Amino acid sequence: MRAGPSQEDIRRHNLGTLLRHVHLGGPISRAELTTKMGLNRSTIMALTSDLTAAGLVREELPRETGRAGRPSLVVRPESARVYVFAFDVGPDRLAVARVGLGGVILDRRETARERGPFQLEELAGTLAGFARQMRRKTRDDTVCVGAAAAVSGGVRKADGVVRFGPNLLAEEVPFGEELGRRLGLGLPVSVGNDANLAALAEHSRGVGAAVRDLIYLHGDVGIGGGIIAGGHLLGGHDGYGGEVGHMVVNPGGRACGCGSHGCLEAEVGERALLEAAGRVGPGQHGRDAVRTVVEAADRGDIEAQAALSKVGDWLGLGVANLVNIFNPEMVIFGGMLREIYLGSAAQVRTQLVLHAMAPQRERLRLRTSSLGDAATLAGAAELAFAHVLADPLEVLARANA
Amino acid sequence: MRAGPSQEDIRRHNLGTLLRHVHLGGPISRAELTTKMGLNRSTIMALTSDLTAAGLVREELPRETGRAGRPSLVVRPESARVYVFAFDVGPDRLAVARVGLGGVILDRRETARERGPFQLEELAGTLAGFARQMRRKTRDDTVCVGAAAAVSGGVRKADGVVRFGPNLLAEEVPFGEELGRRLGLGLPVSVGNDANLAALAEHSRGVGAAVRDLIYLHGDVGIGGGIIAGGHLLGGHDGYGGEVGHMVVNPGGRACGCGSHGCLEAEVGERALLEAAGRVGPGQHGRDAVRTVVEAADRGDIEAQAALSKVGDWLGLGVANLVNIFNPEMVIFGGMLREIYLGSAAQVRTQLVLHAMAPQRERLRLRTSSLGDAATLAGAAELAFAHVLADPLEVLARANA
């Protein structure tokens, strides 16, 4: 247990907090900042000056105030100048975006990929190639301050090595290291689990903004989870926290890729739904195939309805377990689970009533992702910006050096 | 998002941190404090003087240093002078302790009780009576700085009202308020779930000290849980977090008191074990009955062994689920689960290998509670001391007023 912060620590914290307001909330007047941060005007002015000098924000007169007197200057993020690279390695697609401070997508590349394991060199080469293309189009005064990737799989906290996932060939993949080398920007590439990062994005600027206790469930080939507990991402001892897809809901049930049986992922994942709906065979996978089942059920197809109902029951049981364990304020369904939840909300709610304790669920809200397919990429961008927000001046000094 | 702390906030934080070192670690030299807290000698001296003047600590020459030169003064908690009342309302017993700063039990009363719901007034009256008896025996210069109770049940964070539990008659029991009134000390009584508080105690001064991610499982009539994630107790939105006993591990399994079926509590709780072992009938309940089964299994009783094995399988599956979800560093078995785990560790470990992902469990440690039956009471004491450690001087000023 250490002593409280030094004056220098507090200045760093205050600069980061001011920048975070601008980054997450957009343009904001100095007057509002004094209220939100609980600091006086001269301190806000000094902090803003530092961030302006560092090229992170700029100050402008507001367009129209409608009030008499001198208007308070508005602080805006330098979105076009300061940016990060965000990467998303999903089972079916690769995506790269150049994201400006404030969360603005400035440029973006995406490509579909065949399912199955990847070759590390090839993958990193493709992603770095996209980034280079985008970088060539930037103006000279822009500065890249970070890079991060969302991967479908487990990421070791200590060193960012990817340990498991549907795309992996090896047991320990130093993906961030390889991508960083190929990017050649002299920047480390942070790596995070896709569902964890999507949870972070929904918590920062999505449907879960201002919600301190939420569970984000992400459906892709499998089921991932990201948990925000008391305002913080639940990482666990080594960084593998949130793997709710491998909670056993049906002992002795369907075989799971992890070697166990009856995992939430095995009973609710894409394959469970498509098999239950009798849709097996070439081309029967991915988001479109899932959407087809949900649409067929909507139109009255009995087989599709039965499949959704079965999958919805297991999904509801899984959610009930998580509600008992976490007492969250909100559960968010994202990725493919968005469609599945919308098609089986009645089953999910019934299972909640049957299996979740009343006090645990009486103030619970069930929601679908508001960032949609952009959630994982947005989460990677937030991860890339994290160290800028932790110490704005140090980062800028390094980037400009 | 607010600005960083003021000078006054930092002083309060530093006083609290110094006191926490003394409270949790025992007597410590000023020299060690400078190292642990990262402050210089004069600041440590000033902080210590403030706490000494407030009567919270005292400074003494060390008994023997074995080194040349002027020895560093040792700071000790004023354990005999500054104390709290800790209450424990379990299904089978009531306990009250007077606990001195530093966690020393100065005095203690305990009584067995019949299982079943209690009358609020009668319960609060009994507990307050014990506290009064102990208070009459204290010296005039002692000061009670807090009171807290551990209850078997769910406690609403907002107001400390008990919402559910095996001992409850009503749906909303203002237990802390009633006990506070009966105590008549002018102090509020904080209330917490027993498993949550036991987790806090094991994390503060038990087998889980210095472990930032742990799951404590508490067995009594039912199964409760307390989860420390990233160093913080997982409370959830309303305070009901950690109810792992109502995670469904066996859909359609044994009926549970909560209305669901196949909950961890229904498959692993005291009744599941005793029924599986053929021990039903009057007097067949409580810790002694459970111990008898475990001892019989140890002696080779086939029926007892089969019962433990069955219960151990479900316990292991539940632990595997929690390990996948949380990736904890440690799982601690407390209360009656201590005996059950010791009697079925092989089953638990086998289920972990079958159902928990390898990266999630490769650094996991399974342990039994080191505080034993004192864990819940110790946790209540920590809860009672919490506000003293948050702001030592304010609390003392109020207590002495």
Report all structural domains of chain A as residue ranges with CATH numbers, in order of start. 7-63+72-77 (1.10.10.10), 82-197+376-400 (3.30.420.40), 210-370 (3.30.420.40)
Mean pLDDT of A299-312: 97
Mean pLDDT of A250-256: 96
Confidence of residue A150 (pLDDT cuts 50, 70, 90): very high
Mean pLDDT of B275-279: 95
Residue of A nearest to B36 (CA): A2
Mean pLDDT of B49-75: 84
Residues in A closer than 8 angstroms to B36, CB to CB, are 1-2
d(CA B239, CA A258): 33
Mean pLDDT of B119-124: 90
Contact B1 A37 (CB under 8 A): yes
Q: What are phi and psi of B89, to 5 degrees?
A: -110, 95
Write down the pLDDT at residue B187: 92
Mean pLDDT of B136-148: 94
Confidence of residue A64 (pLDDT cuts 50, 70, 90): low
**A177 burial class (0-12, 13-18, 19+ CB within 10 angstroms)?**
middle
* Percent of chain A residues topping a pLDDT of 90: 82
* 3-state SS assignment for residue B184: coil
pLDDT in tens, A349-392: 999 999 999 999 999 999 999 999 999 999 999 999 999 999 99
Among A100-104, A281-285, A299-303, the least confident range = A281-285
Confidence of residue A66 (pLDDT cuts 50, 70, 90): low
The secondary element (H helix, E strand) that includes residue B360 is helix B358-361
Write down the pLDDT at residue B97: 98
Residue of B nearest to A264 (CA): B321
- State ipTM: 0.95
Residue B67 scores a pLDDT above 70: no
8-state DSSP, B173: B
Residue A41 scores a pLDDT above 90: yes
Nearest CB neighbour to B2, from listed A37, A258, A320: A37
Write down the pLDDT at residue B335: 94
* Percent of chain B residues topping a pLDDT of 90: 82
More confidently predicted of B69 and A8:
A8
Contact A246 B355 (CB under 8 A): yes
Confidence of residue B113 (pLDDT cuts 50, 70, 90): confident
Can you tell me which residue has the tokens 């009539």?
B221
What the block records as the tokens of B254 is: 């044994």
d(CA B39, CA A6): 10
Mean pLDDT of A106-115: 92
d(CA B245, CA B243): 5
Contact A325 B247 (CB under 8 A): yes
pLDDT in tens, B200-235: 999 999 999 999 999 999 998 899 999 999 999 999
Compute CA distances A368 → A226, A228, A332, A373, B207, whole Å.
14, 16, 5, 11, 41
Nearest CB neighbour to A325, from listed B37, B243, B328: B243
Per-residue buried b or exposed e for A342-360, using 16+ beta carbons within 10 Å of the residue's own CB: ebbbebbeebbeebbbebb
The mean of the pLDDT values for chain A is: 93
Write down the pLDDT at residue A169: 65
* 3-state SS assignment for residue B88: strand
- Terminus-to-terminus CA distance in chain A, angstroms? 35
Write down the pLDDT at residue A129: 97
Write down the pLDDT at residue B262: 98
B371 CA: distance to closest CA in chain A (Å): 23
Confidence of residue A119 (pLDDT cuts 50, 70, 90): confident
Residues in B closer than 8 angstroms to A322, CB to CB, are 325
Q: What are phi and psi of B177, to 5 degrees?
A: -60, -45
Q: What is the 3-class SS of chain A, one letter each residue?
A: CCCCCCHHHHHHHHHHHHHHHHHHHCCEEHHHHHHHHCCCHHHHHHHHHHHHHCCCEEEECCCCCCCCCCCCCEEEECCCCEEEEEEEECCCEEEEEEEECCCEEEEEEEEECCCCCCCHHHHHHHHHHHHHHHHHCCCCCCEEEEEEEEECCEECCCCCCEEECCCCCCCCECHHHHHHHHHCCCCCEEEEEHHHHHHHHHHHHCCCCCCCCEEEEEECCCEEEEEEECCEECCCCCCCCCCHHHCECCCCCCECCCCCECEHHHHHCHHHHHHHCCCCCCCCCCHHHHHHHHHHHHCCCHHHHHHHHHHHHHHHHHHHHHHHHHCCCEEEEEEHHHHHHHHHHHHHHHHHHHHCCHHHHCCCEEEECCCHHHHHHHHHHHHHHHHHHHCHHHHHHHHHC
Residue of B nearest to A360 (CA): B240
CA angle B357, B362, B365 (to 5 degrees): 115
Confidence of residue A16 (pLDDT cuts 50, 70, 90): very high
Among A137-146, B108-117, B304-313, the least confident range = B108-117
Write down the pLDDT at residue A67: 65
d(CA B358, CA A334): 26
Residue A166 scores a pLDDT above 80: no
Q: What are phi and psi of B202, to 5 degrees?
A: -65, -35
B11 CA: distance to closest CA in chain A (Å): 8
Residue A236 scores a pLDDT above 70: yes
B199 CA: distance to closest CA in chain A (Å): 15
Mean pLDDT of B318-340: 97
pLDDT in tens, B155-179: 999 999 999 887 666 678 899 999 9
Can you tell me which residue has the tokens 């009697």?
B343
d(CA B344, CA B311): 8
Confidence of residue B6 (pLDDT cuts 50, 70, 90): confident
Confidence of residue A192 (pLDDT cuts 50, 70, 90): very high
Confidence of residue B148 (pLDDT cuts 50, 70, 90): very high
Residue of B nearest to A43 (CA): B3
Confidence of residue A116 (pLDDT cuts 50, 70, 90): confident
d(CA A388, CA B349): 43
* Percent of chain B residues topping a pLDDT of 70: 97
Residues in B closer than 8 angstroms to A17, CB to CB, are 1-4
